[in-house]
């Protein structure tokens, strides 16, 4: 089969989807550079301005206008260089107009390859675009590129973006642990750090890597999978303070009480009378202060953790790049409705290779943290979890610096001229 | 003059004081290594377990039992390796028993050099110890070593510890800014990052370095020096969202309302009915949501910012080391009641040298952020501020990594045998 039309190689469309990461642009670099290395097979790579919305609105960034140096700089630039969005296409029945609009735009710009860089929802969308194209008689090859700090895609051993968050969290709780240990004799005894991962405890678990020896921080991890047991928790905090002099805690933003309610949403009211201020870390810290009287500090790193390209995992960077390269190669090989995956070939020494999954097998399946990754007391990670997590944070991949700051690139992001007369409201 | 007694070189006492930093151990390394290079002039360097409390309780760590490699590793280890404390000695009249106890302990261990690594209060204490020693006829040379993330010591151009926090904050708000810019089309439009510095806006100002071009994050800085003007603030947020698509805000934990009250303490009540949950970032974020309707995210990095040795400023590391070396050299030169300082010899290119200040000139004087470092609208930093701040974050000084994590050292911290029969309650 061939995707060549009109004697011109067909074009490609690439979009970034959902919450961005420290390395999603690395996948973009891999994809675009591979395309540039195959000019006889592929034309222009268009990128959606603000993700899939860019396709719906026919706002297509012409990446051929970006210099090779700037595309290379995507390898060390966090965030979504073309803009991302939270915009979910539903079933073909519910969202038919949107799917058809996508095909219309693709047709107008001779786009025969659709690359969607995102999580489970995005893989579902990519799969449906492939189906709609087929039903409309427009051949479009749809390739997913895995990306999610939540690490919840199935089939692939892990997801690009997660390793760098894991490294940031493990580094941060180690550093904060050292700090609190210094101060604990007369001051702060308890430190609480809130991390992302509302549905699954992958990120929370990654904090546990920092504790290599008895007494190391973190001493307690509060997982979204384990209902908060106030009594057991407070006993454990007290034990740690008595035994180690201090207690460092990692808490998932998704921690729930036994009634299944998020602790962060449990009716907090601020000075202006607003409710739902958010933040489970201050709730936990204050509970400790109230019940045990310990002086506390707390941190919420929020976006900092997923944007922290300055401390990205080299393994994560390499895998994100490989996913972008593999996605383009799969397209050039004529494949459709697939996603490159990361395959763990060996644990010690860690080695991995690129595999392939059907989008149908990836879409709408969440990979949860296995039960045997959490210790029986519910407050730590098991050796099995450590063996899984440890390789993912290996290596450093520092960005270049200028004036003491990471020299991240901002692309020109020039839109190609519209070819369709009708606008599309999203 | 000479400090040699009993044919044995006299010993030294070193203590870490107050909130620890990413580089206070670097000063300790400089001090101890310089002592080790001068064995004919100086005996053992004892370190106070948990700071000055270690001297009062005669809990003296024998640093000679630490290997050269471990002392060298202090150069890349954040926090206070010997423990620090928040314990303020008052006037000689009020705290005479404590000052006399210090002299008693020093005498028992042939300690003739007292090094106090801290901020303004510590410099005051070191000064008083010198005076009390003299009045009791016990010659003790007291040398201060500057350390404070608050950057509020006078005479010295800047304080070790500050440059690394400044770098962390500038890097973090740049990274978060890139993230929010990617998401703003359909999701988060406002990001609020809370930073330390309750009394002075040095750290808040450092966030401003990240904004090099029109529209760069951060778009707004809320200083502790400027009473919060809700109306002007909200107008500015709205302007940024309209003009740049998003708004990234750095807010000092010390932000006050026009009545002089901390916004973070303004009566927040959490789910358990506790008040004073703290955290000004969620208060500001919620205000934006309530008044302007923008989706927000917020972060509080707390201890992470001052413990972040992984992204320390090379300039800061070098200066912290030089302060430790200079302090020991001053002692060996027979000096008393002085503190080494950082002198800015030139701004472009930046160059600095080691100077000397009298403790009497440093004690109890706070260096505030100059008024002309804040722009007229109160929301940004001036070119003058940038010229002062920029050199302090120059260069990276990465720690070694092991298993994907910074390989920080934990010392053995073995106490020397007590010589005094009486205990001292602190």
**Has residue A270 got a pLDDT over 60?**
no
Average pLDDT score over residue span A249-272: 79
Residue B6 confidence (pLDDT): 52
Q: Is A66 helix (H, G, I), strand (E, B) or coil?
A: coil
Q: Would the CB atoms of A268 and B268 count as touching at under 8 Å?
A: yes
Q: Which of B85, B86, B405 sits opposite A174 (nearest CB)?
A: B405
Evaluate if residue A242 carries a pLDDT over 60. yes
Q: Where residue B422 falls among pLDDT bands split at 50, 70, 90?
A: confident
Q: Kindly report, residue by residue over B178-196, the tens digit of the pLDDT.
A: 999 999 999 999 999 999 9
Residues B38-96 have pLDDT tens digits of 999 999 999 999 999 999 999 999 999 999 999 999 999 999 999 999 998 999 999 99
Listed residue (B134, B159, B101, B403) closest to A206, CA to CA: B403
- Residue B393's nearest CA partner among B209, B159, B163 is B163
**Radius of gyration from C-alpha coordinates of chain B:** 23
The closest of B291, B290, B268 to B278, measured between CA atoms, is B268
Residue from B48, B304, B394, B399 to probe the interface with A (highest A Cβ count within 10 Å): B304
CA distance A298 to chain B (A): 7
Check residue B3 and give its pLDDT.
46
The pLDDT of residue B246 is above 80: yes
The C-alpha atoms of residue B292 and residue B295 are separated, in whole angstroms, by: 9
> Which residue of B lies nearest to A286 if distances are taken between CA atoms?
B277
- Comparison of pLDDT for B61 and A266, the residue scoring more: B61
The mean pLDDT of B264-269, rounded to a whole number, is 60
The pLDDT confidence band at residue B277, using thresholds 50, 70 and 90, is very low
Alpha-carbon distance A41 to nearest alpha carbon in chain B (angstroms)? 30
pLDDT band for position B278 (50/70/90)?
low
| pLDDT over threshold 80, residue A7 | no
- Band (pLDDT 50/70/90 cuts) for residue A130 is very high
Average pLDDT over residues A341-353: 96
Q: Please report the pLDDT score of residue B319 as a whole number.
A: 98
Sign of CA dihedral B355, B358, B363, B369: negative
Average pLDDT, chain B: 94
Over the stretch A187-235, which tens digit does the pLDDT of each residue have?
A: 999 999 999 998 899 999 999 999 999 999 999 999 999 999 999 999 9
Which pLDDT belongs to residue B341?
98
Contacts of A19 in chain B (CB under 8 A): 183
Query: Which one from B121, B124, B150, B152 is the annotated catalytic residue?
Result: B150
Query: Percentage of chain A surpassing pLDDT 70?
Result: 95
| Joined tokens for residue A336 | 């459709």
CA angle in degrees (0–180, nearest 5) for A146-A151-A155: 60
Reported as a single tens digit per residue, the pLDDT across B21-40 is 999 999 999 999 999 999 99
- Residue of A186, A277, A394 lying closest to B286 (CB–CB): A277
Contacts of B191 in chain A (CB under 8 A): 303
Collect all residues with Cβ–Cβ distance below 8 Å to A97 and sequence separation of at least 6. Answer: none
Check CB contact under 8 Å for A302 and B298: yes
> Looking at chain A, which residue has its C-alpha nearest residue B210?
A405
Would you state the pLDDT for residue A6?
52
pLDDT at B311 over 70: yes
Q: What is the ipTM of this complex?
A: 0.96
When pLDDT is averaged across residues A334-363 and rounded to a whole number, the result is 97
Looking at the annotation, which residues of A are catalytic?
A: 150
As given in the structure block, the two tokens for residue B40 are: 């004919």
Cβ-in-10-Å burial (0-12, 13-18, 19+) of B200 comes to buried
Taking alpha carbons only, the member of B120, B26, B31, B30 closest to residue B81 is B26
Task: Report yes or no: B230 at the A interface, CB cutoff 8 Å.
Answer: no
Residue A377 has pLDDT above 70, yes or no: yes
Pick the residue of B277, B293, B396, B413 with the most A CBs within 10 A to test the interface with A by mutation.
B277
- Whether B87 and chain A come into contact, CB under 8 Å, resolves to yes
| Cα separations in angstroms, B154 against A67, B130, B204, B381 | 48, 20, 19, 21
pLDDT for A4 equals 45
Query: Tell me, what's the pLDDT at B7?
Result: 64
Instruction: Give residue A277's pLDDT.
Output: 46
pLDDT at residue B198 greater than cutoff 90:
no
Q: Find the mean pLDDT for residues B336-360.
A: 97
Residues 91 through 150 of chain B touching chain A, CB cutoff 8 Å? none
What is the three-state SS of chain B? CCCCECCECCEEEEEECCCCCCCHHHHHHHHHHHHHCCCCCCCCEEEECCCHHHHHCCCEEEHHHCCHHHHHHHHHCCCCCCCCCCCCCCCCCCCHHHHHHHHHHHHHCCEEEEEEEECHHHHHHHHHHHHHHHHCCCCCEEEEEECCCCCCCCCCCCCCCHHHHHHHHHHHHHHHHHHHHHHCCCCCCEEEEEECCCCCCHHHHHHHHHCCCCCCCCCEEECCCCCCCHHHHHHHHHHHHHHHCCEEEEEECCCECCCCCEHHHCCCECCCCCECCCCHHHHHHHHHHHHHCCCEEEEECCHHHHHCHHHCEHHHHHHHHHHHHHHHHHHHCCCCCEEEEEEEEEECCEEEEEEEEEHHHHCCCCCCCCHHHECCCCCCECHHHHHHHHHHHCCECCCCEECCEECCCCCCCCECCCCCCCCCCC
B-chain residues near A193 (CB < 8 A): 304
CB B251 within 8 A of CB B224: no
Number of A–B residue contacts, CB under 8 Å: 257
Task: Write down the pLDDT at residue B77.
Answer: 98
Looking at beta carbons, which residues of chain A come within 8 Å of B85?
A: 183, 185-187
CB pair distance less than 8 Å for A268 and B263: no
Span of A18-22, B157-161, B267-271 with lowest mean pLDDT: B267-271
Of the ranges A92-96, A111-115, B218-222, which one carries the lowest mean pLDDT score? Answer: A92-96
- Averaged pLDDT for residues B227-232: 97
B230-244 and B280-292 are packed helices; what angle lies between their axes, rounded to 10 degrees?
70
CA distance A110 to chain B (A): 26
Residue B423 pLDDT: 85
Q: What's the rounded Cα separation, in Å, for the pair A162 and A393?
A: 9
Report the DSSP beta bridge partners of residue A113: A12, A141
Q: What is the pLDDT of residue A266?
A: 53
Q: What is the reported pLDDT for A244?
A: 98
Q: What is the pLDDT of residue A1?
A: 38
CA distances in angstroms from A212 to A150, A208, A379, A381, B51, listed in the order given = 24, 8, 15, 11, 27
Signed CA dihedral, A79, A80, A83, A86: sign only = negative
Percent residues over pLDDT 90 in chain B: 89
| A276 neighbors A248 (Cβ within 8 angstroms) | no
pLDDT > 80? residue A148: yes
- In chain B, what residues touch A302 (CB-CB under 8 Å)? 176, 297-299
Which of 264-323 (B) contact A at CB < 8 A?
266-272, 274, 277-279, 281-283, 286-287, 289-290, 297-304, 306-311, 313
User: Is the Cβ pair A274, B286 closer than 8 Å?
Assistant: yes
Q: Does B329 touch chain A (CB under 8 A)?
A: no
- Cβ-proximal residues to B120 (8 Å cutoff; 6+ apart), any chain: B148, B152, B153, B362, B363, B364, B365, B366
pLDDT tens digit sequence for A24-59:
999 999 999 999 999 999 999 999 999 999 999 999
Question: What phi-psi label fits residue B166: left (phi over 0), alpha (psi between -120 and 50 degrees) or beta?
Answer: alpha
pLDDT (mean) for B219-232: 97
Residue B94 CB partners (closer than 8 Å, separation 6+): none
The candidate with the shortest Cα–Cα distance to B39, out of B12, B73, B6, B69, is: B12
pLDDT tens digits, residue range A169-184?
A: 999 999 999 999 999 9
Confidence band (pLDDT; 50, 70, 90) for A275? very low
What residues of chain A lie within 8 A of the CB of B212, using their CB? 403
Query: Which chain B residues in 187-206 lie under 8 Å from chain A, judged by CB atoms?
Result: 187-188, 191, 193
- Is the full-model pTM beyond 0.80? yes
Burial class (CB in 10 A: 0-12, 13-18, 19+), A360: middle
Q: Indicate whether B103 pLDDT > 50.
A: yes
- Whether the predicted pLDDT of B306 surpasses 80: yes
Model pLDDT, residue A423: 85
Task: List chain B residues with CB under 8 Å of A266.
Answer: 271
- Cα B4–chain centre separation: 34
Cβ separation B171–A310 shorter than 8 A: yes
Of A16, A304, A404, the CB nearest to B167: A404
Q: What is the mean pLDDT of residues B246-251?
A: 98
* List of chain B residues whose C-beta atoms are within 8 Å of the C-beta of residue A87: 186
Q: For chain A, give the mean pLDDT.
A: 94
A405 and chain B in contact, CB less than 8 A:
yes
**Is A182 in a helix, a strand, or coil?**
helix
Averaged pLDDT for residues B400-415: 98
Using CA atoms, how far apart are residues A113 and B228, in angstroms rounded to an integer?
52
């Amino acid at each position: 089969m061939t995707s060549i039309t009109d004697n011109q190689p067909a074009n490609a469309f690439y979009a970034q989807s959902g919450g961005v990461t420290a390395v999603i642009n690395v996948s973009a670099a891999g994809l675009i550079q591979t395309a540039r290395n195959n000019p006889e097979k592929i034309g222009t790579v268009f990128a959606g301005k603000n993700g899939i919305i860019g396709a719906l609105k026919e706002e297509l960034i012409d990446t051929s206008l970006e210099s090779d140096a700037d595309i290379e700089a995507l390898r060390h630039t966090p965030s979504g260089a073309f803009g991302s969005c939270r915009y979910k296409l539903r079933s073909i029945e519910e969202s038919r107009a949107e799917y058809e609009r996508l095909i219309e735009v693709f047709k107008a710009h001779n786009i025969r390859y659709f690359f969607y860089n995102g999580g489970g929802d995005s893989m579902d969308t990519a799969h449906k675009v492939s189906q709609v194209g087929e039903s409309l008689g427009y051949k479009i090859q749809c390739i997913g590129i895995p990306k999610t700090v939540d690490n919840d895609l199935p089939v692939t051993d892990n997801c690009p973006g997660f390793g760098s968050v894991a490294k940031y969290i493990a580094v941060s709780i180690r550093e904060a642990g050292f700090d609190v240990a210094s101060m604990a004799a007369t001051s702060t005894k308890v430190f609480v750090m809130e991390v992302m991962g509302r549905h699954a405890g992958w990120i929370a678990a990654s904090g546990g890597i920092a504790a290599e020896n008895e007494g190391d921080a973190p001493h307690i991890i509060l997982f979204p999978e384990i209902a908060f047991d106030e009594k057991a928790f407070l006993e454990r905090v007290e034990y740690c303070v008595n035994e180690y002099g201090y207690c460092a805690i990692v808490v998932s933003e998704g921690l729930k009480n036994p009634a299944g309610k998020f602790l962060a949403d449990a009716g907090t009211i601020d000075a202006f009378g607003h409710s739902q201020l958010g933040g489970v870390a201050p709730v936990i810290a204050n509970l400790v202060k109230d019940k045990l009287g310990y002086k506390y500090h707390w941190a919420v790193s929020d976006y900092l953790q997923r944007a922290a390209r300055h401390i990205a995992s080299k393994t994560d960077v390499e895998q994100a790049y490989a996913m972008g390269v593999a996605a383009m190669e799969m397209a050039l090989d004529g494949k459709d409705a697939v996603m490159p995956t990361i395959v763990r070939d060996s644990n010690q020494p860690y080695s991995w290779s690129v595999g392939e999954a059907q989008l149908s097998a990836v879409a709408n399946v969440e990979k949860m943290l296995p039960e045997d990754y959490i210790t029986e007391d519910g407050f730590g990670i098991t050796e099995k979890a450590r063996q899984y997590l440890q390789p993912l944070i290996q290596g450093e991949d520092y960005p270049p610096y200028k004036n003491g700051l990471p020299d991240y690139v901002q692309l020109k992001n020039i839109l190609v001229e519209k070819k369709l007369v009708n606008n599309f409201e999203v």
